[in-house]
Chains A and B, each alone.
Chain A
Amino acid sequence: TQLLEQSPQFLSIQEGENLTVYCNSSSVFSSLQWYRQEPGEGPVLLVTVVTGGEVKKLKRLTFQFGDARKDSSLHITAAQPGDTGLYLCAGYPSGYSTLTFGKGTMLLVSP
C-alpha cells in the first residue's frame, strides 16, 4: 500500500491556469516536503512544512499542511511553461526516520 497518495498523477494545462496537487495519507507525518524535478536532474527541495495548518508561499506556489498533519497540498497560480516538471511530495511518518515518497505528479504547462 502507498503511504502517501499523490494526485493527480498527470496534469496538462495551458499557461495562466491554476492547479492544485494533493498529497494524502491516513498516517500522521512529522514533516512533509515538496520537491520539483526536471528531466535528467535530481529533485530540488521547494518547501518543508512542519506545523499542522501551516501555509507557506513561494512566489506563485502555495503549500499547505493539514491541521492533522496527514495531508498537504500544492497550489500553483497562473502556471507558466517553466513550471513543467515532476512534483513529488515526501514526508517522515511520525516515529520514522525514512523519507516516504508519493508517486509524483507530472505537470505539463503549454504556452
Chain B
Amino acid sequence: GAVVSQHPSRVICKSGTSVKIECRSLDFQATTMFWYRQFPKKSLMLMATSNEGSKATYEQGVEKDKFLINHASLTLSTLTVTSAHPEDSSFYICSARDRNYKLAGGYEQYFGPGTRLTVT
C-alpha cells in the first residue's frame, strides 16, 4: 500500500513553454501533498505544500506564479512549471501524506518516483 505515482517520469521542453507534472496517491487519500526539488546528490528542498481544495503554501524564495500547484482532489496534485527556463531543469518529487494514527506525529509521508525536467 501507500503508493504515489508521478507522470511523466522524464520530460524535455523548450525554454518559454510550460510543463505539467501530475502526482497521484494510488491507494489512499492524501489530505496534503508536497512538492520538492532536488539537485544532484543533494537532499530534498521543499517547494510548496498543498491541501486539497485550498491554495498551496509556498516556501520562501519559491515563485508561486512560476510554479503553479493545484490539488483538486484527495488523490491528485499537479505542478505546472510556467515559462520554463534552463535553470528550472531539475528533479521534481512529490509526496503525499495520509493520516497514520499509529504514529505519535499522526502523519507519514510517501514519495513519488520523481520527474526529471530538462529545459533546453
Q: Which residue of A lies closest to B4 (CB)?
A: A42
Flag if B105 contacts A102 (CB, 8 Å): no
Flag if B42 contacts A104 (CB, 8 Å): yes
CB-contacts of B80-120 with A (<8 A)? 91, 93, 95, 103-114, 116
Flag if A98 contacts B46 (CB, 8 Å): yes
B25 to chain A, nearest CB (A): 13
Chain A, interface size category, equals: 20 to 34
CB-contacts of B29-66 with A (<8 A)? 34, 41-44, 46, 49
- CB-defined contacts of B116 to chain A, threshold 8 Å: 40
Q: Which residue of B lies closest to A92 (CB)?
A: B105
A41-B104 contact in complex given A86-B41, A98-B46, A104-B43, C-beta closer than 8 Å: no
Task: Describe B's contact surface by its main secondary structure.
Answer: strand
User: Looking at the complex, which one of A42, A88, A98 makes contact with B114 (CB distance below 8 Å)?
Assistant: A42
Indicate with 1 or 0, residue by residue over A91-107, a CB within 8 angstroms of chain B CB atoms. 01000011101111010
B32 to chain A, nearest CB (A): 8
Q: A31-B103, A86-B41, A97-B107 are in contact. List 20 more A-B contacts (CB 8 A).
A: A30-B105, A33-B108, A33-B109, A35-B111, A41-B113, A42-B4, A42-B6, A43-B93, A45-B110, A45-B111, A92-B107, A97-B106, A98-B46, A99-B34, A99-B107, A99-B109, A101-B44, A102-B43, A103-B43, A106-B41
